[in-house]
Structure 1
Amino acid sequence: MEKNQSVEITFILLGFSEYPGLQLPLFLIFLTIYTVTVLGNLGMILAIKLNPKLHTPMYFFLSHLSLGDFCYSTVVIPKLLENLVVDDRTISFTGCIMQFFFACIFVVTETFMLAVMAYDRFVAVCNPLLYTVVMSQKLCCLLVCASYAWGVVCSLTLTYFLLELSFRGNNVINNFVCEHAAIVAVSFSDPYISQQIILVSATFNEISSLMIILTSYVFIFITVMKMPSTGGRCKAFSTCASHLTAITIFHGTILFLYCVPNSKSSWLMVKVASVFYTVVIPMLNPLIYSLRNKDVKETVKKLMDTNLLR
């Protein structure tokens, strides 16, 4: 197998170049979304840090979810914006691999961060008297570190097998991001092992995280339905509503991408789903959580009032 020479190899990200009339409108739309994403996620992290009421396990996990969303969108969107306004859509071999590497870390981390947050809601609803004991600061830090660590392990493994593939000269990637399937598609090597590795990895991550989430919410549902008062049930469901919304959007998009076959006719569908997955979801999470939370809204309002008075 011939070794990759990163200096000689480049990738061309086609993105949405087949629609030249849409380049400027798409640039403005994605720039607006990225601005909202950055302000929303960094604002959420700042609000959680400044408000003592939000120094709880749930918001500790939420701050790391926001950090992951910010990092993930920053890995992907700036290059997407650049390619919408320049004719040269090339990206170096190293740049493409690094984009995939970091994007993979944050996607896997978010997958398990959402599962950790489901466990947190399970403890809060099903064992409220033991919540502060069970969800200790040590356990919270351990769960967050484990999510990041597993993201790094998965990304290192998948990146290693990508580096084992052979590429020559300019390679046209029919996407706006260096996504695994698109990189493998332009390789001159047999991609079987690399494809099997990501299939096993993605399937394990999806099934294991969904099992944690579903198990947690089954117990939550049973506990809530046993509550005598309607008010208690509404309050319990309300604490889970934002998280359930985020889970539905995130995993729904992933499962949709799994179901789309890798054929030429479906590449547009893959791109549209990828836009939702890489651009829209990181913007939605802080909006989902802030719009339903009185403490977050109050903190953001105080921050805005303080800045306006200066």
Structure 2
Amino acid sequence: MNVPMFGSAALPSIGWGGIAVLTCFIAQGRSYILSTSTWNRYIQTEWANLESIAKQIDVLKYTINRDCPVGGGAPAFLPVSESLHQRSLLALIDVLGEARLAFQMLDEMHLVGANSVLVAIRISNNINDMPGWEHADSLTDQENIDNLARRIDSDGDFNAGGVEGVIIQPDLQQSRVVLKTRLRSLIKFLEFSRMQFRKFASKASIEMANPTLIDLIRDHDPNHGEEEAPFTFVDLLGNIAKWYECWIPEFQDFLYLVEHQLGPLPGPDWWDEEEPVTGLIEETGDPTPGLAMELEYWN
């Protein structure tokens, strides 16, 4: 299967792991192929929806690289300016890491945040690798949208016996089904992390108001001291919560487009009379049919 590996399972187009641990049992079933002509007709029919998805991927790329950067991982994701760096998740978590040496209560907060950085780097890598509407000049719009559609729905190309087509997996194993499941899991993870740091901020307002503690992070104010009030742990933890909030709506929009706007894959009503191989080309599966998802969060 031509998919990247991340965390505890193989993902069709994007992947994440770490705090969100997913267990997946693939249903029994058989792959089939769509001829190139049928696949191309599908692309043209769904062009507007695929274009919307591609443009949303561009929005996601801007969000994860510029608006709310991760700040770590591959060089492509390292913020290019000091102000961007100070807003990045890595920089915010690093401040917690420095301060926790003086205040043990920060250990749990830092652990949650550090694991989040690992997850965010994986997400960034995969989103940046997906075709958006903006693409290399070497590609035409047609080629670019075709690449995106294959990342969403295809399990690879088929070329044998004079037949060319696109391989499609069975129902519960289909790339689009798994992609939607992963996106829902990601959104839950972001919402969970946001809630955690809101709780941490509420706790800090009571237990971490000591001026000596505040001095530990005074120099890490992302506003460069422009605010009259001192920068506190409530501010720091609130900024981390806002970082998660920044990603949530963009991934929700991505999921909505894939789940509710993009039309279904071609079925028998699409197939031409001369459709070459619409049958089964291989058996796949697991002794335990069905798709079972378990979302666990590290304590």
Structure with a larger share of its residues in strand: 2
| Higher alpha-carbon Rg | 2
Structure with a larger share of its residues in helix: 1
Superposed pair shares fold, TM > 0.5: no
- TM-score w.r.t. structure 1 length? 0.27
- Structure of greater relative contact order (alpha carbons < 8 Å, 6+ residues apart): 2
- TM-score w.r.t. structure 2 length? 0.28
